[in-house]
Amino acid sequence: MEEQVLLEIAGISIDVCKKNIKNMHLYVKPPDGKVSVSAPLTMSNTAIERFVRTKTAWIKKQVAKFNEQPRETERAFVSGETLYVWGKQYFLQTEYGNKNTLVLSGDKAIFTVRKASTPAQREHFVREWYRELLKADIAKLLPKWEEITGLHVSAWQTKYMTSRWGTCNTATNKIWLNVQLAKKTPECLEYVILHELVHTVIKKHDKRFIALMDQYMPAWRGIRDALNGQKLDYMEKERSR
């Protein structure tokens, strides 16, 4: 049983999830500094608010870090803009034709579109293009890490997410991976895959979780920090496929 509550404290929106746990946990999550709290079902909103207020300075400091991260500007998907694919920057070269295509050539991303297409239509095509890139790499890398770790997922999907690079339903062992990972350097996807695989056996980021991460990917902390420091989308929309 879970109960969702939204609090507004010191100008900060806090997503509260009350569930069957013993202790309260406060999170400021990448990539955009979304603030959330997990709390016991028996804890009152007043007690939760009192706790969060004692952490206001720390929360604002963490949120500021995310807000200071470089972000891609709003785009119309025309020549001169840039795209990032697996951590590499490409310069968009928009051409007109009867069929939408996006082809990487050297440092250029040659984007063929219908002349009458809108920025929203172009954005949709590019986002789905990123999704297919990500799916292809997940299909190769997930079995690799399942074999390395002996851990397995029941299913996986891709999704545009606003506050997580990946997530795991620990009851079903199904994972979701953020489509934005197709923009990041390749080791970032491997880190997130491993992170979610470990969650299939350990729910919390406790000592056992960290020990397994250290065992299978000793440099994971540096990869995590590099991931959180890379450019983010101008706008996020939740989609799952």
Write down the mean pLDDT value for the chain: 87
What gap in Å lies between CA 95 and CA 110, rounded to an integer? 7
Across the beta sheet with 3-9, the strand order is 3-9, 12-19, 34-40, 25-29
Tell me what the mean pLDDT of segment 46-56 comes to. 89
Tell me what the mean pLDDT of segment 211-240 comes to. 76
pLDDT of residue 74: 63
Q: What is the CATH number of domain 118-240?
A: 3.30.2010.10
What gap in Å lies between CA 193 and CA 158, rounded to an integer? 12
Tell me what the mean pLDDT of segment 166-194 comes to. 95
pLDDT of residue 236: 40
Query: Which part of the chain is CATH 3.30.2010.10?
Result: 118-240
- What is the DSSP secondary structure assignment for residue 173, as one 8-state letter? T
* pLDDT higher at 5 or 73: 5
pLDDT higher than threshold 80 for residue 80? yes
In this predicted structure, which of 33-42, 79-88, 148-157, 227-236 has the lowest mean pLDDT? 227-236
pLDDT higher than threshold 80 for residue 233? no
The pLDDT > 70 percentage for the chain reads: 89
